[in-house]
Structure 1
Amino acid sequence: MKELVRDTVLGHFLRIVTRGKVLPYEEDRDPSLWERYIDKEKSGRMAHHGHTEEEQDEEEADASDDSTQQQQRAGAGEGNATSNTRDSSDTEVGSDDVQRNEVSRHPIDPEKGRDVSVVTWFGDDDPENPMNWSTPKKFLVTFLICQLTFSVYIGSAIYSAGTVGVMERFGVGQVAATLGLTLFVAGYGLGPMVFAPMSEIPQIGRNPIYIGTLVVFVFFQFAVIYAKNFGMLLAFRFLTGLFGSPVLATGGASLSDMYKPQKRAYAIGIWGVAAICGPVLGPLIGGFAAQHKGWQWPIWELLWLSGFALIVLVIFLPETSSANILYRRSRRLRKLTGRDDLKCEPELMSEQMTGKEIVLMTLVRPFSLNFLEPILFLLNLYIALIYGLLYVWFESFAIVFEGIYGFNLGEEGLSFVGILCGSLAVIPPFFLYLYFVQERQFNENGEIKPEKRLLPAFVGSFCIPICLFWFGWTSRPAVHWIVPIIGSSFFSVGAFLLFNSVLNYLGDAYPAYAASVYAGNDFMRSSFGAGFPLFAAAMYNNLGVGWASSLLGFLSIVFVPIPFILYIYGERIRKASKRARHDL
């Protein structure tokens, strides 16, 4: 429990207040332990050529250095043998005239080398490494990431329950009132493009992004509730979406911090269910509140949910970024020992980056990855389409279940339960597939060819059109209302399989840019999710439920070949990329 709380926001606050006396690290008790955190081999490379990677000619260079040192010592010996003017102490100084790294004892190259002792994990079982956390700790952190995701994702659909109330309160039409939904979705599509790359900076990490933005998200709900005019309502709906967004992209990166590739798909699957539960349960949770208390009560519920999540995360969510953990360890060791040469690899890499490079990484890289990488663009476009179809389709539920079947606002929220049931039903067979099929495809190094992650998408791609055709042509008075609800479950099955296949594929194909890649995916799908609902009501009213749903179904069929194409040609495309992984 102490280890869990020590690396949370609460733990950092207690350590600062007590000056490290509460929740101390091992090195706080015994500063002499600093040596076990040093990688001697990488420290020697820093001394030799200024970076931690091996050089092709390193062994030859080492041999040359050794021979040079032997010649220097031999020369010094000859000098002592022929001259009586130099005493023994002078000889020792002359023989060790080359400056060396203290830890590795490697001579420091005056042109390229740096006198740095590289701080790293003290072994493969270092308990501070998120990969080595206990299973209960990983499960708890996964639950917290899912709780935060749910608390933010529900903010889009929970608003839609009070759309009629917004129209009455501010005297606007349906399309204008729908902007409160679409601007929120647009906000949490744009936010990760900035916040997700920031979480990859070692000096920042993931927790300050999660907690800092969540604080703003919670308090901005008051501005939405007490909005004086429609413009203020829309402005703060956009801002709450913007500041609630980081977990929607960075959550996948946090899970990648903790789980090895063989097990990451399970965690991504659970996280995906939490993401689906938000939009699905939003109308259910907000429907009865809006029906009896007005449009503001769903926002109050969002405030309570996100506020509770904030309190829990402050107490229990530890930092998951290994780069940030190592940075804080090296900073802590410098303070304890007074040695300025103790630095970790992520810190060394960030020191070499200029301000321009940092800006490019945080603001430009997510966009360049998204639009210049063919694999990313195709998959993100497909997922964006599915996301856009989801929000258009959601708008038809009021037309079908209120207009055709006579449900009230609260009962209409219950009609979304079919989607939830589909997402829960698909988990057992998906996990069985992962355990008995996909895990056996990993090599001895725990790696898998990214294209093999796409197999579940083959099934998921067909579930989307099946759902839309089923729902569209069974939504009529002559057919019982349970039939379209059963059909709606296929959407969550398809979305679950597609989202998990794509997110795991992207994480394997672009491991060095995980947070930025996920941010680009979130940006694309949120852009579609923000724009599509604006024409949903007009489309369903003009075409009718059957043909409007069929139009969406035909559109989804157009994109069905994408997973198959990338499965066949993805490796060739990936190896032609400068940023994708080439060694699998």
Structure 2
Amino acid sequence: MDEMEKGQVRDVEDADRPTDSEDRNDAARAGLRLDPSGLPLSPQPSSDPMDPLNWKLSVKLVVLAEVSILSFLALLSASLITPAFVPLSEFVHRGLVPTAYVTSLFILCAGLSTIFWNPVSNVYGRRPVYILTVAVGAAMSAASGAARSYGQLLAFRCLNGFFGGVPLGLGSATVCDMFFAHERGLYMGVYTVTLITGGHVAPIIGGYIERDLTWHWCFYVPAILTGALWLLFVLTVPETLTC
């Protein structure tokens, strides 16, 4: 086949290949909603205005902010006590290594909680799980500050992690409930940066709290902050899981 014939074959193939405009028209005829670049949205939103994918961006950002701050407070609660290990170890009459278990057990139980609470939220919804677990987590943080023995403190911290650490695992699912696939990189990044910042700033803040108050307030402060945000969450955040 000479060059002219090859060129004619390529011209025929190019003519048969659908254009981007034709692809968009085909998608529109099929009832698919498209993103700004003309690709079908993933996942496809329903026609229900209550579908989180159809919410206004301002509503999505409010929910994202509250869930992100809950995750921030969860890691803040985990590590705020770190600078106060010395006075805490003297109070519970343990060495520094056993005293450090108050942080490591929180993190362990927070990690395990995802295995239990995420499937529960897939059945009963995100909002009920948030409301229940965050409230109990705040109460267990306050109870940790009021503990009078090493055993009580470890028990309360385990419960604090199992309930209060839920936003750490459930937050990413909430982001996926509200945003399309092409948006998730940005908003998951916002959530993740907010989350990890809690663990970074906690030792700095905890040092000032222990110096100016007592180590007990390293548990009371996150309990108060989490309780205040929990109330705001109850009043403002709707369910994000669709049937």
Alignment TM-score > 0.5, same fold:
yes
TM-score range, shorter chain: 0.7 to 0.9
1:320 aligns with 2:240: yes
SS at match of 1:128: coil
Separation in 1 of the partners of 2:118 and 2:196? Answer: 21
Q: Conserved in 2, the CA contact under 8 Å of 1:161 and 1:298?
A: no
Separation in 1 of the partners of 2:212 and 2:172? Answer: 37
Separation in 1 of the partners of 2:228 and 2:117? Answer: 22
Which amino acid counterpart does residue 128 of structure 1 have in structure 2? M
| Largest Rg, 1 or 2 | 1
Which contiguous aligned blocks of 4+ residues in structure 1 show a shift greater than 4 angstroms? none
Separation in 2 of the partners of 1:159 and 1:288? Answer: 11
Separation in 2 of the partners of 1:292 and 1:245? Answer: 27
**Partner residue, 1:161:** 83
Deviations 1:526-553 (A, max 9, x none): xxxxxxxxxxxxxxxxxxxxxxxxxxxx
User: CA RMSD for the aligned pairs?
Assistant: 1.2
Shift of 1:249: 1.2
**Partner residue, 1:127:** 49
Is there any run of 5+ residues in structure 1 with no aligned partner, and where? 1-122, 324-584
Shift of 1:221: 2.1
**Partner residue, 1:209:** 129
Is there any run of 5+ residues in structure 2 with no aligned partner, and where? 1-44
* Aligned 1:113-512 pairs, distance under 5 A: 124-201=46-123, 204-323=124-243
Separation in 2 of the partners of 1:157 and 1:222? Answer: 15
Separation in 1 of the partners of 2:173 and 2:188? Answer: 10
Separation in 2 of the partners of 1:138 and 1:222? Answer: 31
Deviations 1:364-406 (A, max 9, x none): xxxxxxxxxxxxxxxxxxxxxxxxxxxxxxxxxxxxxxxxxxx
SS at match of 1:150: helix
TM-score where L is the length of structure 1: 0.33
Which amino acid counterpart does residue 179 of structure 2 have in structure 1? Y
Shift of 1:126: 2.5
Shift of 1:161: 2.0
Which amino acid counterpart does residue 256 of structure 1 have in structure 2? C
Q: Conserved in 2, the CA contact under 8 Å of 1:151 and 1:309?
A: no
Q: Conserved in 2, the CA contact under 8 Å of 1:190 and 1:242?
A: yes
Separation in 2 of the partners of 1:149 and 1:275? Answer: 5
Separation in 2 of the partners of 1:304 and 1:277? Answer: 19
SS at match of 2:183: helix
**Partner residue, 1:330:** none
Separation in 2 of the partners of 1:290 and 1:239? Answer: 23
* Aligned 1:63-74 pairs, distance under 5 A: none
Number of residue pairs matched? 199
Per chain length, whose mean CA-contact separation is higher, i.e. which structure has more relative contact order (CA < 8 Å, sep 6+)? Answer: 2
TM-score where L is the length of structure 2: 0.79
Aligned-residue identity in percent? 30
